[in-house]
Structures are given as C-alpha cells and as structure tokens.
Structure 1
C-alpha cells in the first residue's frame, strides 16, 4: 500500500504518536480512509485531519474506529488521553502570552497546520460584547403603565363581539330561519373535511429518500453509517464486494474494500447502474453513488479487478 503523507515536524510528540497509532490501525484493517469515514459516520475530510494530526480526535471517533477495525477500545484510551492533554496544552499556550509578549513559536506553527474551515467552525468560548449588547437589546421591555388599559379594551371588544353574534342568532330564529331546505326537510350536514396527511419527515442529517437519492453520495446525504446495512456480499480476489442498503433513504449502493487502485465496483437496479473506481493513493476502497430501491434485494453489486483476474464478480440476489 502507498505510504502516508509525512506528519509535520512541528507536531506535539503525543499528538504525533496518536496519529501514527491510528494510521497503523487503518493499515491493518485493509480499509481505506474513505471506507473508514463511511463506516464511522465521520466525513472523509475530517478523518484526513485526524490522521494528519491537524485536529483533535473526539472520543466518539476513536470508539467508532476501534469497532470497525476490531480493536479493543481500552488499548487506545491511554494514548488518546495523552493526545487530548497535548491539545489542551496547545490551547493554554494560545491563550497566555510569553513574558516578552510573543506567543510560543510551536503553537503558532501548529496553528498554521489547521485548515481554515476548522478555525471557522470553532465555537466562541465566551459571548462578545456585541453579542451581549444584542441580547440586552432583544430583552423584553418593562411593561408600560398603559398595558392594563389596553388589556381592558381588548376584553370589552371581545364581549361586544360575542353579544352581536348572539343577537344575530336570535333574529334568525324570529324570522323563521331554521336552516332547513326549501322543501322543509333538514339540510344535510356538511361533509367532513378529509384530514391532511402530515408530510413525512426524515431523521436529522438525512437529506434525501427514494428517487431523490439516485446518483447522490450516500455519505454526503446522511444515508450511510448507522443507517446502512450490508444485505449481500461476495469476494473478488482479495477484495470484499458488498451491497449496502439504507431503509431510511430507500436506496442502495455498492462498496468494495481491500482492493487496489483501478479496481471498479458497480451497483445495478432494474437496468440502471452506477460505478466507482478505487483511486490511486492510500485508499483501498470505494463506493458508488446510490440508486433508489423498493426492497433491499433489488440491488446487485459487481466488481472487476484491475488485473483482469476472475472477470466480473457479482453478488447473488
């Protein structure tokens, strides 16, 4: 497998050690970064940052990686805690200037390694003065002395309206307006209005369902991770070929793992197909865009290896 991109020399030693440990877990699993991202529910760019030591790794991501790689989570706990303490030290140094008024050079160098989107997404630690002023401006004003007077006026208006309705009803009775039809028979009651069906809602993070998912990335649409299951699988050489299905999204796609660059995988549903190839680099897996399905058994996954061995290998329905 091609080597990883070298880690920065400016990384804290504990952060570097933990990033290297995570890389070894990915290597031993035979999964690429893309497959790890899909199976753990974290996107590819986030895992690139974790594995490059550019971003602290949350406990949930470590637990998910341990599960998909078959690693005992307790084995990673001590290293994860050391890396977390290192990130905390980096944060402390950022907040406290050195005696000469400058910040720690290593801290500033590590900050330059962070992607722009990470800093943009970091939540503020304390509300700014502008926010405080806006909150003060939005707070409800003290009740004015004229409010009871306006409330009394509303009550009087409502009482007059009710009195007018009762008077009109009495006048209709006196005039013989019984509500019957012209022939003296009682008019049929109005037909009840059919209830309006509430629109179906999708779980948080899920962005499509059924035909709307066709051609879309299952990870980007929120259909992967815990919402997806493998409903069929086969082997093409050393590669594992799977049909992945999401009942929530009513869609299926194909996935290949343990493969080499140039291997391809396709998903087929009622004559429609979508294809993906394993890219050059460190990845050993790929997955296709989705196709809408009525049932999980509607989809078939096929793989063709780059070396031409075995021809096309497909799952059985």
Structure 2
C-alpha cells in the first residue's frame, strides 16, 4: 500500500477531499503508482503530481482511474468538477496576490529613490534693533572739552555706521548663498540623474530579493531552467493558451512571479516533439515515455507572448498561443497562421485543468 506524503498546506478543502478520494481508490485497488501509470496511460510522474496535490488530474485521467478501480464514474466526475472550480478560484486568488506584489514592489522602488537635494537656504543676520543713544547732560554746566558720550571709545567709528555695515555684509552673503543654490543645485540633480541612468540597478537582483519562498529565479535568470525545479509551477502558473492535437493537449504555461513561460503536452506518446518559442528563443523537448512532458522556460515580459507547438503521431502538427509574423516564420508556418489543430482545439481542451509544470 502506498505511503502518501502530506498534502500541501493551504490546499483548498474541495481539492484536498478530491485528492484524498483518489488516494483511497488507489489504496483499495492495491495499485502502486507505477502500476497505475501502466493501466491508465498516464505517466508515473503525472500520477505523483495528481496524488500529491501539486496538479489537478485532468478529467480523462479521472475516468481512467474509475475504470481501473471499478469506481462509479459519475460520482467521481462530480467531485472532480467541484475540485476544478476550486482550482480556478485559487488561480484567481493568485492573480490578486501578484497584483499586491506589484504594488509592494512599486512602493519599494519609490522608497529607494534618493531624496532630492535640499536647496541651500540663505541665513540672514537678525537685524539689530537700534536704540537711540541717550546722552545725559551734565548738571550745572556744559559738557567739558574732550569729554565723549558714554559707550564710545576714543578713535572708534560711530556705532550706527558699524551696524549698517554688518547688515549690508549679511545681506550680500545671503544673496550669494541663494544665487549659488539656484545655479549649482540643478546641475547636481542632473548629474545624479545621469549617473543613475548610466548605472541602472539590475532588475533581476532587486526582484530576486522579493520572490516568494521556494521560487528560485525570475526573468532572464529562468532562461533554460526547469519550471518545477525553480518553483515556478503549481499555483504560481496558469495556462494562457491551449489546443488539441489529435488526442494530445498542448498548452502554453505562464508564471507571472517568475516572468517566464513554457510549453506542456498531456497524453503524449514516445517520439512526440514539443516546442516553445518566444522573443526569438526556442526550447524543445522530445517525449521519451507515454504521459505528460514540458519544455524548459523562456523569459517573457508577460502572457500572450509564447507559442507552443507539437508534432505527434504520423506527422500531425498543431500549435497554441501567440501568432504574429515573426513567430510564424520562426515556427515554419505561414504568416496567415492557418492552423486547423490550433484553431479547433480549444473546445476539445476546455475540460483540462491548469496546474504545475
């Protein structure tokens, strides 16, 4: 009997209940994960994700499990529909969380900007209040020759002239300070702006310090790396485009927090080829075993910039995702983008869920 690991914390109760029911069915049938993969046509890796709560099992896998274990398909499908709605709600909450992260990053960026230099303020000497010099007349006669009014020393200039000179000097000094502030402070600010433009901070290094726990890369750092190993899959990713190619399902997966996208194929067979293209870059993988597969990541500025294409079976081809002239030429299609599999595959893939990887 398999020994299951604890389901991820914060998993929606309906998803948790549905995953627990799948585990109970596997236990009752006495199947190992490898045996379950052999009987259902879905890979061992896929079932480990489904039964571990990291990815919602697609409806086809649920029906295959019901057939193998003898479970009632109607009841199991009802539980799957409830879990699928809960998974969609979780993706909506994730979008709100990403919005909050962007607001927080914007505030942090504003806080990190250097405060503008304060203009030098001129200091003016407080004017000295002049009081008239009171001369006390000498009683009983006139001022004797050679006598001087009190407060004035021999040979010193008049006090009123000295005060006027002090005020004039303070005024000139203040004017020079104001003039210097007007002339030099704007130049200093321009030099600071020029230096900031010449030596921009690495957005990847700033963003790396703000990534959620478990996420190991962002933007260009994710190029060519495994989305699951870097923590970009699961609830941090969503399907932006999908198409049916024969019995296969091709999806474009996008993680906003990682700033990267990749291609995924479900129900693939040995020899199938899966390709992801974005911004002139390409990631390709050849499927070696029956089940699911995905490419490595491509850094993208946002959703809707990636094209996923698959070549399956006896040469059948199909694509999903962005299609402009440049992307079409790089993928070997015409600019008109006539792709029957990609255009008609959306309805066929509507029941597939979006999860990790």
Instruction: Classify the TM-score, shorter chain.
Output: 0.3 to 0.5
Higher Rg of the two aligned structures: 2
TM-score normalised according to structure 2 size = 0.40
